[in-house]
């Protein structure tokens, strides 16, 4: 998933960029409204994280020009220190999809990003799909090329994590934290579970979808790079 962060506070920007990249997102950034608008209008992003108080062009103007002039419907998550209802409504009317009040937790930021992108893709995300691989989150049934896949509970957790982040690389430490929390087992456990998942998802089929990014983690995608 590719995200644009437009934020003029250097410390906040650095923290957000580091955390999003750790979570496997591809991130671009800008520190003023005009530069951010240029990037948003000339590139494809899955979501824009946008501060309101920006030099050159504020967040409200950014939203209006992106929607009306550039005709882009990229989802926008607004960041602001203003928590008055009137300010929130103004942002939503300008074209924002959601609002996050400063200070905020980085974990909540990622949760909001994932929720907005699920809605924007039009699936209440009962179904995840990558190439010919499909996972129904309401029934926990997985199929590939129309054939049912028999997954154990750990396989389901890993598959859902990789499919939600696809085609981004998911770092080992992120996967371990998502699956086991603070109580992470020995270092070979993740590798062993990925191997088992590959036996089900990839081995019976001509084209592998689960790829190892050596020294970093794993990604699920049609192509290796």
- Looking at residue 115, its pLDDT comes to 84
pLDDT in tens, 16-61: 999 999 888 889 999 999 999 999 999 888 899 999 999 989 999 9
Residue 13: the pLDDT is 96
Question: Along the chain (225 residues), what's the average pLDDT of each consecutive run of 10 residues?
Answer: 93 94 90 96 91 92 90 89 74 84 91 81 67 88 94 93 87 87 80 96 95 93 80
pLDDT at 124 (0 to 100): 47
Q: CA torsion angle for 117, 72, 4, 62 (degrees, to 10)?
A: -120
pLDDT at position 54 is 94
Which domains are present in the chain?
Answer: 2-120 (3.40.50.2300), 127-220 (1.10.10.10)
CB 216 within 8 A of CB 172: yes
Q: For residues 223 and 219, what is the distance between their CA atoms, to the nearest angstrom?
A: 10
**Do 121 and 129 touch, CB atoms closer than 8 A?**
no
Helices (H) and strands (E) in the chain, counts: 8, 12
């Amino acid at each position: 998933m590719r995200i644009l962060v437009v934020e003029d506070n250097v410390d906040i920007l650095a923290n957000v960029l580091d955390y999003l990249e750790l979570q496997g997102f591809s991130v671009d950034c800008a520190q003023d409204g005009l530069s951010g608008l240029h990037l948003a209008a000339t590139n494809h992003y899955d979501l824009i994280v946008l501060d309101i108080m920006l030099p050159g062009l504020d967040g409200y103007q950014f939203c209006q020009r992106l929607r009306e002039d550039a005709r882009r419907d990229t989802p926008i998550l607004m960041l602001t220190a203003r928590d008055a209802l009137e300010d929130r409504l103004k942002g939503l009317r300008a074209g924002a999809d959601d609002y996050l009040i400063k200070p905020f937790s980085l974990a909540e930021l990622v949760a909001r990003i994932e929720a907005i992108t699920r809605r924007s893709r039009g699936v209440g995300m009962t179904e995840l799909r990558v190439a010919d691989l499909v996972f129904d989150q309401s029934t926990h049934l997985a199929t590939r090329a129309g054939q049912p896949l028999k997954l154990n509970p750990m396989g389901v957790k890993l598959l859902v994590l990789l499919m939600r982040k696809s085609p981004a690389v998911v770092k080992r430490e992120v996967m371990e934290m998502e699956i086991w929390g603070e109580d992470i087992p020995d270092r070979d456990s993740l590798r062993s579970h990925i191997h088992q998942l590959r036996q089900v998802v990839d081995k019976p089929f001509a084209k592998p979808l689960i790829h190892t990014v050596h020294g970093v983690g794993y990604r699920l995608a049609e192509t290796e790079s």
